[in-house]
């Protein structure tokens, strides 16, 4: 009411309006202080034998607001609320950090920096040597050694991914600062391995964002240490994570990976194929891996996809080729859009 009264007298009596506004502000401050004091008293109150609380000598039945009830919020009935939280909280944080365009890196979490891989392999081999053959411990240790030996070939890709991400992050900053174009940031699934390499490269560029969109896992305490603190996202629902990964994605780099990498790659390709997402540059890094793991030509031969779908994939082993392909593609598109807008403005 003070605000309304103030607005009504604003033109004729500015001092009166300011007086009412000051009263209203003071009133709201008192109410907020009373609220905080009462919350502290409620938290400190001990329940008696009737399961009531006593505050300032008065007995009350304790209550919990619905939006503060953990049992309710974590139950199945509140699932729509949790889904909306993952949608809106991400939207707000991306907006607050001026992120609306990304180069998204999909890749294996199992790859490691060569030095780290060597240490892990040595430790696994030492453990295997101490285990008694035929025991579960020996079997588990042998499986770990085998897995590390199989993934050794990916170690060289750690520095390649780091370099590519760093160059793309620098390009994203430069195009915004020097050309007045949209800033493009580096994003990943936030995990270890080649995702860590991508975030690490981006973190080495001044003014660049390093985005991590992770999924909650029982064996990971958080995202890799190279993700920007303000842009570290953890999702419970895969579909909200996938939505936000795709929403801002202006280019994709898919390095060797397992089910998750392939799932995310095909998901984005399907969105493009069905017109749900605009065409973007898609780089598949490692010819050896992608041409052996997936028979792209067979998909065409069997008529399940069209040749144009496969032509959208740029498969390479070169950091320079990947960088040039992505930057030229996105720069050309943005410049053509600006030209069209200028022509339209000229017609008016």
Report the pLDDT value the prediction gives residue 95, as an integer from 0 to 100: 96
Give whole-number Cα distances, 304 to 243, 278, 284, 301, in Å: 25, 21, 20, 8
Name the E strands within the chain.
53-55, 58-60, 102-106, 185-188, 210-215, 232-235, 249-254, 282-285, 313-316
Report the pLDDT value the prediction gives residue 1, as an integer from 0 to 100: 41
CB atoms near residue 153 (< 10 Å)? 13
Residue 243 CA to residue 115 CA, distance in Å, equals 35
| Chain segment 263-300, per-residue pLDDT in tens | 999 999 999 999 999 999 999 999 999 999 999 999 99
Q: What is the 3-state secondary structure (H, E, C) of 281-293?
A: CEEEECHHHHHHH
Q: Is residue 28 part of a domain?
A: no
For residues 235 and 101, membership in a common domain is answered with yes
Chain centroid to Cα 42, Å, comes to 38
Give me the CATH number covering residue 267: 3.40.50.450
Report the pLDDT value the prediction gives residue 219, as an integer from 0 to 100: 80
For residues 308 and 272, membership in a common domain is answered with yes
For residues 340 and 236, membership in a common domain is answered with yes
Domain range enclosing 246: 81-112+155-346
Q: Is residue 298 part of a domain?
A: yes
For residues 130 and 193, membership in a common domain is answered with no
For residues 135 and 197, membership in a common domain is answered with no
| Chain segment 210-256, per-residue pLDDT in tens | 999 999 988 888 899 999 999 999 999 999 999 999 999 999 999 99
For residues 126 and 263, membership in a common domain is answered with no
Residue 174 CA to residue 178 CA, distance in Å, equals 6
Q: Is residue 270 part of a domain?
A: yes
Domain edge (last residue) among 130, 148, 166:
148
Low-confidence ranges of the chain (pLDDT < 70): 1-17, 348
Nearest to 241 by CA among 77, 106, 70: 106
User: Domain total for the chain?
Assistant: 2
């Amino acid at each position: 009411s003070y605000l309304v009264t103030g607005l009504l007298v604003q033109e004729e009596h500015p001092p009166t309006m300011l007086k009412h506004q000051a009263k209203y502000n003071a009133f709201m401050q008192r109410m907020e202080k009373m609220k905080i004091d009462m919350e502290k008293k409620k938290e400190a109150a001990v329940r008696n034998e009737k399961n009531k609380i006593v505050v300032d000598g008065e007995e009350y039945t304790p209550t919990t607001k619905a939006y503060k009830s953990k049992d309710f919020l974590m139950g199945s009935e509140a699932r729509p609320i949790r889904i909306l939280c993952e949608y809106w909280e991400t939207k707000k944080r991306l907006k607050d950090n001026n992120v609306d365009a990304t180069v998204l890196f999909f890749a294996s979490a199992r790859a490691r920096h060569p030095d780290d891989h060597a240490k892990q392999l040595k430790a696994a081999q030492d453990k295997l040597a101490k285990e008694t053959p035929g025991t579960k411990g020996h079997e588990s240790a042998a499986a770990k050694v085998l897995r590390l030996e199989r993934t050794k070939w990916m170690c060289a890709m750690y520095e390649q991914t780091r370099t590519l991400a760093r160059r793309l992050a620098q390009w994203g900053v430069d195009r915004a600062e020097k050309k007045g174009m949209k800033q493009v940031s580096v994003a990943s699934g936030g995990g270890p391995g080649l995702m860590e390499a991508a975030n690490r490269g981006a973190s080495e560029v001044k003014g660049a964002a390093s985005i991590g969109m992770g999924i909650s896992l029982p064996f990971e305490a958080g995202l890799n240490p190279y993700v920007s603190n303000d842009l570290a996202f953890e999702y419970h629902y895969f579909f909200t994570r996938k939505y936000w990964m795709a929403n801002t994605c202006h280019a994709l780099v898919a390095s060797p990976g397992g089910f998750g990498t392939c799932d995310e790659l095909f998901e984005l390709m399907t969105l493009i194929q069905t017109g749900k997402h605009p065409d973007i540059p898609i780089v598949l890094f490692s010819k050896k891996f992608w041409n052996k793991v997936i028979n792209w030509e067979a998909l065409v031969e069997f008529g399940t996809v069209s040749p144009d779908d496969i032509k959208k994939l740029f498969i390479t082993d070169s950091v320079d080729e990947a960088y040039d392909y992505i930057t030229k593609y996105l720069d050309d598109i943005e410049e053509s859009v600006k030209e069209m807008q200028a022509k339209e403005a000229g017609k008016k």
